[in-house]
Structure 1
């Protein structure tokens, strides 16, 4: 079914005990997290940019998997770098489920680029899609989060904001993720008195689609099977 906001809502049995919004939910960590959280009495708002038909199909499949696990799901598409898009996805969530308990800001992408080649448009786009979108999401979500008894916000950063290599430069992405972390710390300080917990996670290389082959090898060696508890920046792991 579709609600008045334009989000597609899939039905599952049972009432919802919590409502979770996950951006960047069509692949990688976002998709894995959605599938992990999917259960009866959980409502999931799954959002992706939806830049092409393939990415839209991936999000629809994630929603189908989550619904099969008993969750109630809604899907939405849009570029969070565009003005008003972040606020709109919060509106979609509230229109679909009437509440918001937990927000996972996972949208964004890593772009290899040297500082010498960095242009203003690329730099601005990275900041619009990551720290600016995060700030807009949190601002719009605050009234709903303040009324929740289990309010959580999680921002997904990246190791590129902490590890710098000349042979693997991520100039714009590193700066944007560092800004995201600073905003997450600010949000944590401001929202803690309201009962909202804010955390930031900085994973290492992670394949966005499970079928993708590893793209990096440490020191020319084939990386060992990834461990769940370890995400080393020079190894590629799979979201689980």
Structure 2
């Protein structure tokens, strides 16, 4: 019997795909969002057939107005409810101030902060209806916190992710009376799929790894495990928090 429905954006690869694997179960239906990589989402969905999980693939560019609401509507129309939203889709822009123009700045805000806002706005009535099983998780990043000399600063991405975290705290207060929790997970440097775009050149992995106290990149499954915890009944009293999963980068 299906008892939970989750919508995960950016689910074709990386952290999003790992989160789908962590949440999908016989009692949990999952809507996998893809912007362009439908084939990747289909491959993940096919891997889950043996678990008994029900899946749906939804598509669209979350930086465009109306996309988030449509994804929520399509998920609810298919499964009749929505308990969990994981706002993971996004990208990293390494250009420093001076090279970064307004178009690129606004693209980062639209794809991450505004998309999170629109997902939350569209999903809010359904999450309130879900009550104590309602969960909203935003995937932030260490770049909103780590600005030490020698680290890449990603100014547009840092602003977009910091905005997600602040919005999550405000929304956590709003939704707390309904029993719905709102949190963020902030990964550090994470291994990318071989075919995926890497914000940091792959040839720099060894150099970057030396700057991480644990001496290595994180694995998508390690981030997904924390997201899954926040979506579980065990995290029913955790809200308005940003959980860092970064091997010590922000220490």
Q: TM-score scaled by structure 2? A: 0.79
Partner of 2:130: 148
Partner of 2:32: 46
| Superposition map of 1:3-18 within 5 A | 15-18=1-4
Partner of 1:159: 142
Q: What is the CA-CA distance between 1:232 and the residue it aligns to? A: 2.7
Judging changes above 3 Å, is the alpha-carbon distance between structure 1 residues 70 and 215 closer, same or farther for their aligned structure 2 residues?
A: farther
Alignment equivalent of 2:13, drawn from 17, 27, 37:
27
- 1:178 paired to 2:162: yes
Whole-Å separation in 2 of the counterparts to 1:140 and 1:93: 11
Contact 1:205 1:233 in 2 (8 A): no
- 1:200 paired to 2:184: yes
SS in 1 for 2:113: helix
Whole-Å separation in 2 of the counterparts to 1:233 and 1:108: 23
Whole-Å separation in 1 of the counterparts to 2:203 and 2:33: 26
SS in 2 for 1:43: strand
SS in 1 for 2:5: strand
Please, what is the CA RMSD of the aligned residues? 2.4
- 1:231 paired to 2:214: no
Whole-Å separation in 2 of the counterparts to 1:210 and 1:32: 15
Structure 1 segments (4+ residues) deviating >3 Å: 210-215, 218-230
Q: What is the CA-CA distance between 1:215 and the residue it aligns to? A: 4.4
Partner of 1:8: none
Partner of 1:94: 76
Report Cα offsets for 1:34-69 as digits up to 9, x if no partner. Answer: 01112112100110211xxxx221111111112232
SS in 2 for 1:147: helix
Partner of 2:112: 130
Alignment equivalent of 1:217, drawn from 206, 222, 243:
206
Report Cα offsets for 1:133-168 as digits up to 9, x if no partner. Answer: 111111111111111140011100000000125562
Whole-Å separation in 2 of the counterparts to 1:174 and 1:17: 36
Q: What is the CA-CA distance between 1:70 and the residue it aligns to? A: 1.3
Report Cα offsets for 1:76-109 as digits up to 9, x if no partner. Answer: 1111000101111001111110100011010101
Contact 1:159 1:233 in 2 (8 A): no
Judging changes above 3 Å, is the alpha-carbon distance between structure 1 residues 159 and 224 closer, same or farther for their aligned structure 2 residues?
A: closer
Q: What is the CA-CA distance between 1:169 and the residue it aligns to? A: 3.1
Q: How many residues align?
A: 217
